[in-house]
Amino acid sequence: MYYLEHGKLYYEQAEKSPLAIQPILLFYGLVHLIKACILTVEPDYPETTSVLAHGVSTRKRKKQQYSFTDDEVKFQKNGLFSLMAEKMFHMKQLEGEKATMGNLLELIPELSGIYSELRGKQIFEVVTAAESGFSLPKSIIDQFHMTENRFKEFFQAKSSIPVSFVEDPNHIRFEANLSEASEPLPLKYNLEEQHYVFPIKKGDLFLFPELLLHYLVLYNLGMIARYETEWWSELIKMMPNEDYPLIQSFLKSTLKKVPYLIYQHLINK
């Protein structure tokens, strides 16, 4: 309860704070909320000092032509990130893997609008509630370069909850109890638009729970806000490229989305 209260304080202060320091407050707020979740399954946490590290690292930044979306984080063997992945989402062996900020941001549903505006790029298909379950447009199979049957097999194989399909000549129609899981992967919930979506980029992070995505982006942004003061200040004051609207949109989204995801995780335990 104390970790939840402390995390709540960070988020309340972040909402009132200028963008310049928001990433720091949001990252440490998230850390406290994650620790609260871990304690529900690991009451002796922290058992060793090795789990106290953040669990990810960033490369040394290049001063010339630096792009936030191209920047990377690398997953470490020990620390909060790997512990969270294991204890909360039963994921192991992430050590040594990397992720770019662009690939992470493209899997956050609330950023679909800004990606569409900036790049004319569609990153999700909307899941429509139908009479018998839900439906996706058949055009999604072209995005995945699959036949309809192959896509259905793929969806069922990747889904974290049981999915069954209903014959429909015009849509990919399916039935599933989406409330069974805090995040019925690969589906994600767009909190701003109040509907589920299906990511149309099938990459290494396709089945990453969204809390892990937010942790990685906030970790990197927090490091930048603390240690890359010149670049960070110029970004905020000059808004020189698309990094600024993407970061601003992400911070606005994560302020609401992370507490929602934490709440969903705790009530679906």
Where are the domains positioned within the chain? 1-109+206-268, 124-199
Q: Identify which has the larger pLDDT, 238 or 13.
A: 13
User: Measured between alpha carbons, how far is residue 51 from residues 74, 90, 126, 129, 223 in Å?
Assistant: 16, 16, 38, 42, 19
pTM, two decimals, is 0.95
By three-state DSSP, how is residue 135 classified?
A: strand
What pLDDT shows up at residue 62?
60
Residue 30's pLDDT band, with cuts at 50, 70 and 90, is very high
**What is the per-residue pLDDT across 206-252, written as a single tens digit (0 to 9) for each?**
999 999 999 999 999 999 999 998 889 999 998 878 899 999 999 99
- The confidence score (pLDDT) of residue 178 equals 87
What pLDDT is recorded for position 244?
A: 93
By the 8 A CB rule, do 108 and 93 touch?
Answer: no
Quick: pLDDT tens for 59-84: 766 666 788 999 999 999 889 999 99
pLDDT exceeding 90 applies to what percent of the chain? 75
